């Protein structure tokens, strides 16, 4: 089971859930995860495809071929603004 942390508008789209839980087989890639998100959470999957939400794996922005394991920390990162 993979837990995906949610923040900002993504959390709002998921009805204020802090995390999503996804069942998956070994060897899941970020590309596979996006397909799962599109099927189960179309609004969130659409934002990822439009690159309005990024996927972070272990605190690093991921690429479609990044492999995910159950021990990894995965988060969906909406746009955010920094300080001055």
pLDDT value, residue 79? 82
pLDDT value, residue 26? 78
CATH number, domain containing residue 26: 3.10.20.30
Within-domain flag for 83: no
Alpha helices in the chain (DSSP H): 8-13, 30-40, 42-49
Within-domain flag for 69: yes
Within-domain flag for 42: yes
Within-domain flag for 51: yes
Q: Quote the pTM value.
A: 0.86
Tally of structural domains, the chain: 1
Within-domain flag for 58: yes
pLDDT, tens digit (0-9, with 9 covering 90-100), for 22-60: 888 778 999 999 999 999 999 999 999 999 999 999 999
pLDDT value, residue 80? 74
Within-domain flag for 14: yes
Within-domain flag for 48: yes
Do residues 76 and 8 make contact, with C-beta atoms less than 8 angstroms apart?
no
pLDDT value, residue 25? 79
Range of the domain at 73: 2-77
């Amino acid at each position: 089971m993979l837990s995906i942390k949610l923040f900002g508008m993504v959390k709002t789209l998921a009805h204020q859930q802090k995390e999503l839980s996804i069942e998956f087989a070994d060897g899941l890639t970020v590309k596979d995860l996006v397909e799962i998100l599109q099927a189960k959470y179309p609004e969130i999957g659409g934002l990822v495809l439009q690159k309005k939400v990024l996927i972070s794996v272990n605190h690093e922005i991921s690429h479609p071929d990044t492999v995910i394991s159950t021990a990894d920390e995965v988060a969906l990162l909406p746009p955010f603004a920094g300080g001055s």
